[in-house]
Amino acid sequence: MSDPTVQPVPASVVEQVDAADVTLSNPHRAVLALGSNLGNRLETLQGAIDALEDTPGVRVKAVSPVYETEPWGVEPGSQPSYFNAVVIVKTTLPPDSLLERGQAIEEAFDRVREERWGPRTLDVDIVAYADVVSADPVLTLPHPRAHERAFVLAPWHDLEPEASLPGRGPVAELLAAIGLSGVSARADLELRLPD
């Protein structure tokens, strides 16, 4: 005989719990690059990390040291320098949903897209998602320029010296080939893993 005081759990609640499950059944590993050169850059990067952790189906597993970088693709001195970092996440979100979440976080930090390589409060890029290789113009994987950007490779190498960029090779070799010109570690600054 069933107990009349026990009510079934609504399906919507079950779905919410499943989506936020900290165990993340069958997660994928993704590498994300973060950058900011407007406003309180360090606070913005930390806010982005915290927002990623607050995303159902995403857990931040590692956060790199902070690097300061000259703006890329523009005249020297025309923009403030960037703070850059790399985070590694485990996620059950598919790549396009992770991209949407990254863009929503950018918007929450007042990202404006007026010019290519323009100054920005926040940039969230998917560098690699598992071993996925895709030429989709909306989300090319791995990131089509990651192999030539020290501000991505250096912090990633700090986190995972043995890492490899799908289709391009070991991060250590890619970084050695381009060098660290315009990129410097900021040992005085620190980003933290979310609680």
Domains assigned to the chain = 25-185 (3.30.70.560)
Contact 103, 42 (CB under 8 A): no
Check residue 128 and give its pLDDT. Answer: 97
Q: Of 41, 59, 101, 120, which residue is the catalytic one?
A: 120
Terminal-residue alpha carbon distance, the chain: 44
Q: Of 41, 59, 101, 125, which residue is the catalytic one?
A: 125
Token pair for 84:
């850059």
Q: What share of the chain is helix, strand, coil (3-state, %, to 5)?
A: 30, 25, 50
- pTM to 2 decimals? 0.84
Report the C-alpha gap between 127 and 155 in whole angstroms.
12
Q: How confident is the model at residue 81 (pLDDT cuts 50, 70, 90)?
A: very high
Residue 23 has pLDDT above 60, yes or no: no
Contact 130, 98 (CB under 8 A): no
Report the C-alpha gap between 72 and 182 in whole angstroms.
9
Report the C-alpha gap between 62 and 59 in whole angstroms.
9
Residue 108: what residue type? A
pLDDT per position as a tens digit, 37-74: 999 999 999 999 999 999 999 999 999 999 999 887 66
Which of the 8 DSSP states describes residue 102? H
Cα 135 to Cα 142, 146, 167: the distances in Å are 9, 14, 12
> 142: closest CA among 173, 165, 158?
165
**What torsion, rounded to 10 degrees, do the Cα atoms 59, 175, 40, 76 define?**
-150
Backbone angles phi, psi at 20, to 5 degrees: -95, 5
Contacts of 121 (CB under 8 A, 6+ apart): 36, 38, 39, 44, 106, 109, 110, 111, 112
Q: Of 123, 136, 186, 192, which residue is the catalytic one?
A: 123
Check residue 113 and give its pLDDT. Answer: 61
pLDDT per position as a tens digit, 160-181: 999 999 999 999 999 999 999 9
Q: How many CA atoms lie within 13 A of 82 on its CB side?
A: 28
Concerning whether 125 is annotated as a catalytic residue, the answer is yes
Concerning whether 120 is annotated as a catalytic residue, the answer is yes
Q: Of 41, 101, 111, 149, which residue is the catalytic one?
A: 111
Backbone angles phi, psi at 63, to 5 degrees: -130, 130
Token pair for 19:
């989506």
